[in-house]
Amino acid sequence: MGAHLKLTDLNLRFGGIKVLTGVDFEVEPGQIFGLVGPNGAGKTSLFNCISGHYRPNSGSITIDGVEVLGTPPATLARHGLARTFQHPALQLHATVLENVLLGGHTRLPGGPVEWALRLPRLSRSERDLRVEALALLERNGLGWAVNKRADELSHGLHKGIELCRALLSRPKLLLLDEPAAGLPHSEVEQLIGTVRRIGREDDITVVVVEHHMGLIAALTDRVVVLDHGAKLMEGTAAEAQSDPRVIEAYLGKDDADDVA
């Protein structure tokens, strides 16, 4: 079952600069939820707080009712959180399969000592992960590229590899950071279908940061709009697109008055 995510009065400062101010929202299990807003709105900083890369100054972040504020990313991964990045962080000289298998490290039994000794249950787990990784790549249209080096493939395919790597960890909560960035229209349409299928078939809660409003409108159940680090509104993507405050935040007051 997908995770329940709740943020309460989240505040983040860098020195004297307020980056996030009093951010509150909830994401229900199995929802596809969007975080949108103009450049500098605080979207990526908020993602970094949820994924443990930043520690907020105050507030609360809970996953399934458990407080995770300030929990390191590696620990969050073991508790069902996975994340992709705007610029995929792949091992470019490794094969596609090797890159995807990195996503399964939190599922391996034991620890460094057992891994060094190569005990039988570790070998069994590695074989199982390999089978699962191959199935994920096939399911997501990358079966043909299993033995290709990552640096031989396009940016769009890198996004698909990173998504498969995240899914191999069997997340309950998946954070997608601008998954459509740099993709042509045809690949954006494919991405929408892939994320919908993941949410439906794998029962994963998905939170998406994205500038591509067409993707957000086609994909999400609900959105939160951020502006200058604060929540501007929450509702459906259609409500956000027609909200005068959102139009003003994206276009500026003078242009928004022209639109009105």
> What pLDDT, on a 0 to 100 scale, did the predictor assign at position 127?
86
Per-residue confidence (pLDDT) for residue 193, from 0 to 100: 87
Residue with tokens 């929540």: 231
pLDDT tens for each residue of 13-42: 998 899 999 999 999 999 999 999 888 899
131 φ, ψ to 5°? -60, -45
Which domains, from first to last, does the chain contain?
5-80+171-259 (3.40.50.300), 91-155 (no CATH)
The ranges of the chain with pLDDT < 70 are 108-122, 251-260
Adjacent-strand bridge partners of 63: 5, 66
CA–CA separation, 71 and 90 (whole Å)? 24
Distance CA(232)–CA(181), nearest Å, equals 23
Report the pLDDT value the prediction gives residue 213, as an integer from 0 to 100: 76
Q: How many angstroms separate the CA atoms of 237 and 102, rounded?
A: 34
- pLDDT, position 182: 80
Task: Note the residue count of the chain.
Answer: 260
In this prediction, residue 258 carries a pLDDT of: 39
